[in-house]
Structures are given as C-alpha cells and as structure tokens.
C-alpha cells in the first residue's frame, strides 16, 4: 500500500490544459503515473513519456503500462535527454518544490526547451514534508510564488483553497477556493501554463478562465445553460 493515498484536487483543470489533439507528452516527475493514466483514458497520445528519479515509481508505471517510454533520470541533471520541441506538452505536477531554487529554474529552462506547452503545479506556501513511499526525493526544499512564474511569462491561476491570514483553514479555505482562480497569490496551490511558441498550441489567453475547452465542450455548456433557463452572452 502506498503512503500517498490522495490525489491532486485540480486534476480536472490540469487535464483541461492538455489539448484533446495532443499526440506527444512528457510527464517530468511522473511519480506513480496519474497524468499518464488520465491521458490514456481521456486523450489519445501516440507518444507518452514518463521520467522520474525514483525507480520503484518507474517500476509501478512499467507494470501499469501508462507510458510508452520510461526514463530514469535525476531532474537536477541537465540537459534533459530530449530534443528541442520534441513534445507538444510537458507536465510537471507537484515536483518543482522538491528541487532547490537553482535546480528548479534550470529545469524550467529545459521544460520550455523541449515542449510547446509547459504545465506546472506547486503549493503556494511552504510546509515541511519528509519522505513518502520510502522516497527521499519527496522532501520539500523550495517555495515558489506567483511572481516566479509570471516573470517567465507563465499564466498563473489559483487552484487550491483560499489562504486566510496566510494559512489554510480546513473547511473555510476549501469553500472559498474557487474565488482564487484570478487571485492566485491567495490560493494554496498554483497552476502555471506557458506556451513556448506563439503558434505552437491553442493559446489559453483566448479563454479567461484558464481552461481550454473544445468546441464540443462549448456546445455542451451552452445546452446546459439553456436547460437551466440561462442566457447566452
């Protein structure tokens, strides 16, 4: 039984940032493969690559067959073993806080080099975390703020609970969480997206919610609003 028995609260929003037509994705710091599993269920990639430093996680992913390729790699080692713009999407979910600031900055350089779109999530506050699953790399080392991503031209959204006086209050923070979408500095969790080539992927700037929808989703949303008696703008 793994010690980590919970999942990321923003998985639907993360998935929505992976365009439906995505054919190649690299999951950098793949862990036990939640992004790989979601892509296998809800997307049809022709090449799905997982990379992680912890071999037991890679063995789990190997048996689960989420990924087409698995790479054992220390993320503090650069460059990553991939070509420029080799992937349409690179995901880096709840990983950067496990690296030093210098290593994290260098890794973001690499993510932006190898992919057209980069998707990163990280806590927006620091809390002590030791190892889970006997994985020494689970320790929290660094804290990343909204400004750290914005200065690199990332779109940043709040996807966690609302921080009240700088900390989370269990039920209250969760209830107020949706209000932080456009106020990420007061959210407990950040979702950061960067399109590294202007015409490389569908730009999230076309959607103020920060969530990329397909035309099918838009039609369904309109139908739902009509059924509820809502008006379309």
CATH number at residue 131: 3.40.50.150
Q: 61-108: per-residue pLDDT in tens?
A: 999 999 999 999 999 999 999 999 999 999 999 999 989 999 999 999
Cis bond before residue 79 (omega within 30° of 0): yes
Quick check: is 226 in a domain?
Answer: no
Provide the edge-to-edge strand list for the sheet that holds 69-72: 69-72, 47-52, 24-28, 87-93, 115-123, 189-195, 155-158
Query: Which single residue is written with the structure tokens 């070509």?
Result: 83
Q: 2-29: per-residue pLDDT in tens?
A: 665 667 789 999 999 999 999 999 999 9
- In terms of residue numbers, what domain contains 54? 11-202
Question: What is the band of 226 on the pLDDT scale with cuts at 50, 70, 90?
Answer: very low
* Sequence-distant (≥ 6) Cβ neighbours of residue 56 within 8 angstroms: 133, 134, 135
Residue 105 class from Cβ within 10 Å (0-12 exposed, 13-18 middle, 19+ buried)? Answer: middle
Taking 80 as the threshold, does the pLDDT of residue 191 lie above it?
yes
Question: CB–CB of 3/64 below 8 Å?
Answer: no
Report the pLDDT value the prediction gives residue 174, as an integer from 0 to 100: 83
pTM of the model: 0.81
Quick check: is 4 in a domain?
Answer: no
Quick check: is 115 in a domain?
Answer: yes
Mean pLDDT of the chain: 83
Report the pLDDT value the prediction gives residue 141, as an integer from 0 to 100: 87
In the chain, the number of structural domains is 1
């Amino acid at each position: 039984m793994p010690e980590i028995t919970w999942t990321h609260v923003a998985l639907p929003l993360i998935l929505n940032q992976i365009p439906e037509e995505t054919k190649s994705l690299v999951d950098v710091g793949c862990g036990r493969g939640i992004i790989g599993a979601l892509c296998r269920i809800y997307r049809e990639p022709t090449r799905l690559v997982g990379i992680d430093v912890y071999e037991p996680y890679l063995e789990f992913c190997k048996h689960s067959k989420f990924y087409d390729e698995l790479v054992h790699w220390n993320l503090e080692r650069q460059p990553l073993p991939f070509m420029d713009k080799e992937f349409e999407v690179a995901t880096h979910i709840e990983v950067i806080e496990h690296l030093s600031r210098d290593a994290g900055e260098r890794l973001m350089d690499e993510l932006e080099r190898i992919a057209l779109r980069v998707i990163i999530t990280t806590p927006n506050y620091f809390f002590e975390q030791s190892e889970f699953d006997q994985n020494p790399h689970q320790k929290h080392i660094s804290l990343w703020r909204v400004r750290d991503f914005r200065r690199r031209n990332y779109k940043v959204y709040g996807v966690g609970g609302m921080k009240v006086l700088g900390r989370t209050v269990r039920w209250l923070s969760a209830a107020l969480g949706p209000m932080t979408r456009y106020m990420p500095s007061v959210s407990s969790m950040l979702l950061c997206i960067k399109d590294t080539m202007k015409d490389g992927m569908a730009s999230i700037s076309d959607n103020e919610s920060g969530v990329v929808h397909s035309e099918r989703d838009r039609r369904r949303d309109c139908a739902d609003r009509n059924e509820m008696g809502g008006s379309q703008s």
